Amino acid sequence: MLFKAKTKERYDQHAKDLPDIQPGTVVRIRAKEDEKWNQLGKVVEKCAEPRSYRVLNDKGNIVRRNPRHLIPCKDRFQIRNDFDYDDLEVTTRPSSPEPPNEIVTRSGRVVRKPSRYS
């Protein structure tokens, strides 16, 4: 038990709490996939869970993030709307595509079903 107490004491000497982020603050969000700070967001609210915030990102989605993944910044926040609905073409698909007569394996061999199944 003494070892645990000593370890905690050493850890607590240099550990510090992250500052609270107020709702409405513009932040940079660290993406989970590539670990880059390339997404902007705006803090909507502090969640009931400890160390958790709801953030409106620049794509218009609300995500929940830990303050470790948020950096307050002075950039201007704007929701990106990269999609232009006017250029959208409506395409129709056939209701059911016809199955191919021959099935070819990945190695290139043609699979022939036994005659009793035809």
Could you tell me the CATH number of the domain that includes residue 61?
2.30.30.30
* Residue-wise pLDDT tens digits, 42-54: 999 999 888 899 9
The domain in which residue 59 lies consists of: 20-78
pLDDT at 98: 64
The answer to whether residue 14 sits within a structural domain is: no
Q: Among the listed ranges 23-27, 50-54, 96-100, which one has the minimum average pLDDT value?
A: 96-100
pLDDT at 86: 60
Q: How far apart are CA 69 and CA 13, in angstroms?
A: 23
Helix (H, G, I), strand (E, B) or coil at 84: coil
CA distances from 113 to 5, 90, 98, 117 (A): 71, 39, 18, 7
Is the whole-model pTM more than 0.75? Answer: no
Average pLDDT, the chain: 83
38 HSE (CA, 13 A, CB side): 6
**How many domains is the chain built from?**
1
